[in-house]
Amino acid sequence: MTAPIQNFHQKSINLWQPLQKWLEGLEIQEAQTARRIVKLIPSQCPFARDVRVFGRVIFRIPALCKLNPLYEQLMGLRFRALCFLADTCGEDITPYCW
């Protein structure tokens, strides 16, 4: 009886897969595009927040970047953009790293 359940879990559909593949396949060919990508995708997760009311922390919103189904692809795209700027364009990328 466990075989059909195991087959069901193995055949689950990843609805994000087409977008993940598209992001992985993007090639960066222009410096301006690379700069935009690096500026749009933050190097650290900006979503961790404390919700305060009258100076007291009511609840915390944890950093959810690892839960984002596109996290790995976005970080890879940002890394490829940085590499393009450094290797191909010869730019100093230290301002983009923090």
pLDDT one-digit tens code per residue, 20-60: 999 999 999 999 999 999 998 888 776 677 888 898 988 87
- 22: in domain: no
For residue 58, give its domain range: 34-98
> What Rg value do the Cα atoms of the chain yield, rounded?
19
Q: By three-state DSSP, how is residue 49 classified? A: strand
Q: Is residue 73 one of the residues assigned to a domain? A: yes
pTM of the model: 0.71
- Cα separation, 79 vs 76, in Å, equals 5
Domain for residue 17, yes or no?
no
Kindly state whether residue 63 falls inside one of the protein's structural domains.
yes
11 domain residue, yes or no: no
In a domain, 85, yes or no: yes
Examine the pLDDT at 1 and tell me if it is beyond 70.
Answer: no
- The fraction of the chain above a pLDDT of 90, given in percent, is 45
In a domain, 10, yes or no: no
Indicate the average pLDDT of the chain.
Answer: 84
- Whether residue 7 lies inside any domain: the answer is no
